[in-house]
């Protein structure tokens, strides 16, 4: 029997083993990201720029001719526990904050470590705000997905209720940063959590947030329940 997935099995920012098709889609996204990175500082002649523009416009037109997959149908199978691995990847791998097959996702990795969420990131030039620094809005996106991952400790699906940030220091570009988040407490359908971004030992961003469960009170999964 082939593997089947349900929405409740999804962990924030974590994907199943990619299919061969998904590997190719990630390769395409990787090339697009590379173009974006190079374009920011590329020193090229007008004729070279015109050539690149024409090539990419032609490629975009070719891609536009393909039929589109039925996204609502994929979601329906996911909520019914009948999604294939490709269905799951087609939904998660294009997610704006953590997907690997989209040029829009943030350059970060997240995982669970005991009762902590941990992560790492390294932001290139496309994420710049002030010269040499990561844009504050990009860091807000980062904290939103970082704190959202604390929901992996619960079977619930919730949405961001509030997100409060304190920018304590600049976060430099092209520098490895670490992330960490934890649950403060749960109160019925509300999950209170906190997180931070560290550059070495220095905290550059602190955040706190409240997530609201869409389906009943938050209850710890057995494997993560505090002792």
User: In the predicted model, what is the mean pLDDT of residues 205-221?
Assistant: 94
Q: What is the pLDDT of residue 2?
A: 64
DSSP secondary structure of 64-107:
HTSPPP-HHHHHHHHHTT-B-HHHHHHHHTT-TTT-SS-TTS-S
Mark whether 128 and 209 lie in a shared domain: yes
- For residue range 46-85, list pLDDT tens digits in order: 999 999 999 999 999 999 999 998 999 999 998 899 999 9
Out of 45, 72, 105, pick the residue that ends a domain.
Answer: 105
Average pLDDT, the chain: 93
CB atoms under 10 Å from CB of 200, counted, come to 10
Backbone angles phi, psi at 73, to 5 degrees: -65, -40
Mark whether 157 and 101 lie in a shared domain: no
Q: What is the pLDDT of residue 214?
A: 85
Backbone angles phi, psi at 110, to 5 degrees: -130, 145
Residue matched to tokens 């505090």:
226
Q: Write down the H helix ranges in the chain.
A: 20-41, 46-64, 71-79, 85-92, 136-148
Mark whether 18 and 33 lie in a shared domain: yes
Mark whether 36 and 6 lie in a shared domain: yes
Range of the domain at 84: 1-105
Which of 97, 135, 91, 103 minimizes the C-alpha distance to 119? Answer: 97
Q: Is the pLDDT of residue 95 over 90?
A: no
- pLDDT band at residue 34 using 50, 70 and 90 as cut-offs: very high
Domain harbouring 140, CATH code: 3.10.129.10
Q: What is the pLDDT of residue 1?
A: 43
Is the dihedral angle over the CA atoms 90, 92, 95, 98 positive or is it negative? negative
Mark whether 81 and 43 lie in a shared domain: yes
**Token reading at 168:** 């304590």
Whether the Cβ atoms of residue 124 and residue 108 lie closer than 8 Å to each other: no
Contacts of 137 by beta carbon, 8 Å cutoff, 6+ apart: 129
Q: What is the pLDDT of residue 41?
A: 86
Mark whether 93 and 113 lie in a shared domain: no
Out of 53, 77, 105, pick the residue that ends a domain.
Answer: 105
User: In the predicted model, what is the mean pLDDT of residues 162-170?
Assistant: 98
Domain count, the chain: 2
User: In the predicted model, what is the mean pLDDT of residues 160-180?
Assistant: 97
Mark whether 41 and 138 lie in a shared domain: no
Out of 105, 138, 155, pick the residue that ends a domain.
Answer: 105
Mark whether 93 and 112 lie in a shared domain: no
Mark whether 100 and 152 lie in a shared domain: no
Mark whether 111 and 100 lie in a shared domain: no
Percent of residues, the chain, with pLDDT higher than 70: 99
- pLDDT band at residue 132 using 50, 70 and 90 as cut-offs: very high
Mark whether 151 and 120 lie in a shared domain: yes
Mark whether 30 and 99 lie in a shared domain: yes
Contacts of 120 by beta carbon, 8 Å cutoff, 6+ apart: 108, 109, 176, 177, 178, 179
β-strands 202-213, 158-167 pairing: antiparallel
Backbone angles phi, psi at 63, to 5 degrees: -65, -35
């Amino acid at each position: 029997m082939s593997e089947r997935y349900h929405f409740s099995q999804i962990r924030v920012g974590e994907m199943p083993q990619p299919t061969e098709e998904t590997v190719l889609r990630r390769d395409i996204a990787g090339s697009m990201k590379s173009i974006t990175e190079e374009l920011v500082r590329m020193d090229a002649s007008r004729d070279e720029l015109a050539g690149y523009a024409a090539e990419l416009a032609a490629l975009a037109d070719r891609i536009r001719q393909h039929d589109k997959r039925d996204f609502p149908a994929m979601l329906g199978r996911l909520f019914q526990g009948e999604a294939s691995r490709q269905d799951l990847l087609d939904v998660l791998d294009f997610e704006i904050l953590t997907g690997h097959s989209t040029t829009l996702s943030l350059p970060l990795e997240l995982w669970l470590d005991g009762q902590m969420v941990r992560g790492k990131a390294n932001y290139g030039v496309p994420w710049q705000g002030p010269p040499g620094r990561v844009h504050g809005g990009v860091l807000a996106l980062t904290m939103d997905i970082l704190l959202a991952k604390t929901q992996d400790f619960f079977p619930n699906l919730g949405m961001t209720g509030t997100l409060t940030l304190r920018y304590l220091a600049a976060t430099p570009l092209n520098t490895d940063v670490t992330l960490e988040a934890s649950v403060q407490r749960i109160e019925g359908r509300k999950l209170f959590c906190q997180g931070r971004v560290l550059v070495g030992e220095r905290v550059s961003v602190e955040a706190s947030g409240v997530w609201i469960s869409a389906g009943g009170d938050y209850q710890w999964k057995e494997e993560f329940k505090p002792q």
